[in-house]
């Protein structure tokens, strides 16, 4: 079944997800499973929340007034359908097109399948860099993103060009991260997710990798914490999709609440300017990395996961949608 | 309960309704509060402090409300022994080892003793024997001792001024910023840090201060701070120091002090301790046998009643 262009998950899948989350709830809570199932179905019908929305926002703790304050999956899809045009969505979905569109805000080299795709350009790239990050062009949630060692590839008698062509990937220079962000976790780029509606920032979150992971995506076990959108200071504990909360980073032991993101005013400026480049998309989630030379865009999302900015402090942002109509 | 008290509460409730609840939901707020009062024993102030207007009934049952707090006090704090907390001179004798400061009872001290005590410390704090919320406390310096009449201050206690840890003084230097530790049956339930307003001598919320939620294990402020009007703060309104992420120094000693002090009077089991942090350790300011149930719960919006019920069953 299709719902405004999106595949609806099967009932069985939803049931499994709800069951998974129920098992993650702390045992001493002992909320009855039947009640949770009933309340989930009710909330789904009334507010359009998915299983993740329901449990990450703590809908079982809220009454109707509390639930109304959150932006759920259904409202996100509907808003996306109404305000984001398909052409704009295609631009941000395709990582290559996005890199071209936002070229002024990207300070790294890359080679793709459609653009910068000649063998010569790949060769030049290989000469300059020893390691690079490859990304599948259409994938979401950080799946398939990994670092390749170019000299190791050569030993296997394979050029970077062949490797990327086979796997339909684009290759990017690895971003050198700001020293302060390295203090948090040095093994991946810790990006900042800023969500904007027509260029206004409605919320931000800091995503941090954990456990030796090369990416910071929450789907890959990363943790995320809410950021004050005016000052760029982390104002909540970090949490992960398993609903565990962290006051210190589990690997580096850096204190997470109170962590100040460097060059925050530049981030806000960048987001504001960049959203002028893509007026076709109203609701955008920007993944910003703080590189050694200043903020830069890593990725753009047309239908950003609102759990990143709403869940850590359980602070809903629906009023923004109401304002914008 | 007199009429004035009721009128004040209704007035406050109606003001709060305007600030926190959207127009279309306001009429139902009154009914909702009445329900919460009978079902959960929540006072009109609790209703807004705990944001009950947007919580489900199950979540509401997790909070220590006014009535639940009164029940705990009645059940676990033996009224014959609460005098150790009510009367300051008895408290100071009983908990002398945790005080971390010198003190003198004005009713028993002679004029010379008192003068030498003031002279030794330069400046002291005069506290009335009874009275809460920091009322009637004043500083007395060595210069003013000649005009000071000890006879008229027989119901006072003279205490050495606590020099707090320099890191704590950074937050707000005019007041001693204390940590409120709630203990039940000798176990630490939750902690909060109270920071005085600019220029205030006490750190109570009633004096424009802010309070912060502390992580019990690490002693770090992990949430936005809140003031009496339930406004949220990232920076201290007076000193503009960043509050979120602040780590309380000597944290282990704070918890140790609270746990050790909770064992001194075993007949009183539900206590809120005020502990100041000094350079070398801690100083116990006071213990409240009637602890404010709101300050430890309202900042991070975490209910503690389940934790307490679990300990009750032990």
Helix (H) or strand (E) holding A276: helix A264-277
pLDDT of B102 > 70? The answer is: yes
Task: Determine, for residues B234 and A60 on separate chains, whether the beta-carbon distance falls below 8 Å.
Answer: no
Check residue A288 and give its pLDDT. 92
Check residue A26 and give its pLDDT. 80
Task: Determine, for residues B234 and A248 on separate chains, whether the beta-carbon distance falls below 8 Å.
Answer: no
Helix (H) or strand (E) holding A239: strand A238-239
- Contact (CB, 8 A) for A219 and A143: yes
Asked if B114 is an interface residue toward chain A (Cβ–Cβ < 8 A), one would say: no
Task: Determine, for residues A257 and B218 on separate chains, whether the beta-carbon distance falls below 8 Å.
Answer: no
Q: Is B149 helix (H, G, I), strand (E, B) or coil?
A: coil
How many angstroms separate the CA atoms of B203 and B209, rounded? Answer: 6
Q: How confident is the model at residue B65 (pLDDT cuts 50, 70, 90)?
A: very high
A192-197 vs A110-111, strand pairing mode: unpaired
Asked if B251 is an interface residue toward chain A (Cβ–Cβ < 8 A), one would say: no
pLDDT tens digits, one per residue of B181-190? 999 998 999 9
- Contact (CB, 8 A) for B180 and B249: no
Asked if B39 is an interface residue toward chain A (Cβ–Cβ < 8 A), one would say: no
Sheet holding A169-173, edge to edge: A110-111, A169-173, A131-136, A146-149
Beta strands in A45-178 (DSSP E): 110-111, 131-136, 146-149, 169-173
Check residue A1 and give its pLDDT. 67
Asked if B245 is an interface residue toward chain A (Cβ–Cβ < 8 A), one would say: yes
pLDDT tens digits, one per residue of A266-319? 999 999 999 998 888 888 899 999 998 889 998 888 888 888 999 998 888 888
Supply the DSSP string of B242-277, one letter for each residue.
B-TT-B-TTHHHHHHHHHHHHTTSTTB-EEEEEEEE
- Contact (CB, 8 A) for B81 and B268: yes
Task: Determine, for residues A257 and B244 on separate chains, whether the beta-carbon distance falls below 8 Å.
Answer: yes
A192-197 vs A169-173, strand pairing mode: unpaired
| CA atoms lying within 13 Å on the CB side of residue A249 | 27
Per the prediction, chain A carries an average pLDDT of 86
pLDDT of A325 > 70? The answer is: no
Supply the DSSP string of B59-114, one letter for each residue.
HHTTS--HHHHHHHHHHHB-TTTTHHHHSHHHHHHHTHHHH-S-EEETTTS-HHHH
Torsion of CA A153, A210, B243, B184, to 10 degrees: -170
Task: Determine, for residues B222 and A62 on separate chains, whether the beta-carbon distance falls below 8 Å.
Answer: no
pLDDT tens digits, one per residue of A4-50? 767 777 888 888 888 888 888 887 777 888 888 899 999 999 998 88
Structure tokens given for B101:
């400061």
Asked if A250 is an interface residue toward chain B (Cβ–Cβ < 8 A), one would say: no
Structure tokens given for B173:
């230097």
Q: What ipTM did this prediction achieve? A: 0.83
How many angstroms separate the CA atoms of A241 and A223, rounded? Answer: 8
Query: Which residues from B are below 8 Å from A61, CB to CB?
Result: 55-56, 58-59
Q: How confident is the model at residue B133 (pLDDT cuts 50, 70, 90)?
A: low
For residue A248, what is the DSSP state? B
B232-233 vs B187-195, strand pairing mode: unpaired
Query: Which residues from B are below 8 Å from A319, CB to CB?
Result: none
Shortest CA distance from B234: residue in chain A: A235
Asked if B109 is an interface residue toward chain A (Cβ–Cβ < 8 A), one would say: no
Which of B25, B54, B306 is closest, CB to CB, to A28?
A: B306
Q: How confident is the model at residue B107 (pLDDT cuts 50, 70, 90)?
A: confident
Q: How confident is the model at residue B134 (pLDDT cuts 50, 70, 90)?
A: low
Helices and strands (H and E) in chain A: how many? 14, 13
**Torsion angles phi and psi, residue B111, rounded to 5:** -60, -40
Q: Count Cβ neighbours within 10 Å for each residue of A256-290 and write b for 16 or more, e otherwise.
A: bbbbebebbeebbebbeebbeebeebbbbbbbbbb
Q: How confident is the model at residue B314 (pLDDT cuts 50, 70, 90)?
A: confident
Tally of CB atoms within 10 A around B308? 20
Under 8 Å CB-to-CB from A250, ≥6 apart: which residues?
Answer: A210, A211, A223
């Amino acid at each position: 079944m299709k719902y405004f262009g999106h595949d609806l998950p099967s009932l069985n899948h939803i049931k499994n997800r709800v069951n998974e989350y129920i098992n993650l709830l702390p045992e001493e809570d002992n909320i009855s499973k039947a009640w949770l199932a009933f309340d989930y179905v009710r909330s789904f019908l009334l507010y359009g929340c998915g299983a993740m929305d329901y449990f990450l926002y703590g809908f079982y703790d809220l009454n109707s007034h509390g639930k109304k304050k959150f932006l759920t999956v259904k409202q996100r899809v509907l808003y996306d359908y109404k305000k984001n045009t398909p052409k704009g969505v295609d631009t941000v979905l395709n990582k290559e097109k996005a890199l071209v569109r936002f070229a002024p805000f990207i300070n790294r080299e890359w080679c793709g399948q459609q653009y910068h795709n000649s063998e010569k350009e790949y060769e030049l790239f290989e000469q300059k860099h020893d390691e690079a990050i490859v990304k599948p062009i259409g994938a979401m949630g950080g799946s398939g993103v990994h670092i390749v060692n170019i000299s190791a590839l050569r030993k296997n008698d394979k050029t970077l060009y062949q490797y990327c062509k086979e796997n339909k990937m684009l290759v990017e220079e690895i971003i050198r991260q700001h020293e302060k962000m390295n203090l948090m976790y040095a093994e991946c780029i810790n990006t900042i997710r800023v969500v904007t509606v027509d260029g206004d920032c409605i919320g931000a979150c800091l995503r941090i990798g954990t456990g030796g992971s090369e990416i910071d995506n929450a789907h890959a076990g990363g943790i995320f914490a809410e950021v004050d959108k005016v000052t760029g200071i982390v104002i909540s504990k970090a949490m992960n999709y398993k609903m565990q909360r962290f006051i210190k980073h589990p690997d580096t032991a850096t204190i997470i609440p109170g962590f100040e993101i460097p060059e925050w005013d530049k981030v806000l400026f960048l987001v504001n300017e960049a959203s002028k480049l893509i007026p076709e998309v109203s609701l955008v989630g920007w993944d910003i990395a703080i590189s050694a030379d200043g903020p830069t865009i890593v990725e753009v999302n047309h239908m950003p996961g609102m759990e990143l900015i709403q869940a850590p402090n359980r602070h809903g942002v629906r009023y923004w949608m109401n304002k914008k109509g | 309960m007199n009429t004035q008290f009721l009128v004040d509460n209704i007035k406050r409730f109606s003001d709060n309704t305007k600030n926190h609840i959207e127009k279309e939901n306001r009429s139902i707020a009154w009914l909702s509060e009445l329900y919460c009062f009978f079902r959960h024993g929540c006072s009109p102030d609790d209703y807004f402090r705990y944001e009950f207007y947007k919580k489900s009934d199950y979540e509401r049952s997790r909070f220590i409300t006014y009535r639940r707090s009164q029940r705990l006090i009645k059940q676990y704090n033996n009224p014959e022994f609460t005098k150790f907390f009510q009367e300051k001179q008895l408290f100071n004798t009983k908990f002398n080892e945790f005080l971390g400061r010198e003190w003198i009872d004005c009713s028993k001290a002679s004029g010379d003793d008192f003068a030498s005590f003031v002279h030794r410390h330069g400046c002291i704090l005069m506290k009335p024997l009874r009275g809460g919320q920091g009322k009637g406390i004043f500083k007395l310096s060595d210069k003013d001792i000649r005009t000071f009449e000890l006879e008229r201050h027989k119901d006072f206690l003279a205490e050495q001024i606590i020099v707090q840890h320099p890191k704590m003084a950074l937050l707000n230097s005019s007041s001693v910023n204390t940590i409120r530790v709630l203990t039940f049956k000798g176990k630490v339930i939750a902690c909060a840090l109270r920071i005085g307003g600019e220029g205030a001598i006490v750190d109570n919320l009633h004096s424009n201060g802010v309070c912060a939620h502390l992580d019990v294990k690490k002693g770090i402020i992990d949430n936005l701070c809140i003031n009496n009007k339930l406004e949220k703060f990232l920076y201290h309104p007076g000193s503009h120091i960043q509050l979120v992420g602040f780590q309380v120094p000597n944290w282990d000693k704070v918890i140790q002090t609270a746990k050790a002090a909770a064992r001194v009077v075993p007949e009183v089991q539900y206590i809120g301790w005020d502990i100041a942090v000094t350079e070398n350790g801690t100083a116990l300011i006071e213990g409240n046998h009637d602890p404010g149930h709101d300050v430890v719960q309202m900042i991070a919006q975490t209910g503690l009643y389940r934790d307490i019920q679990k300990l009750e069953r032990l």
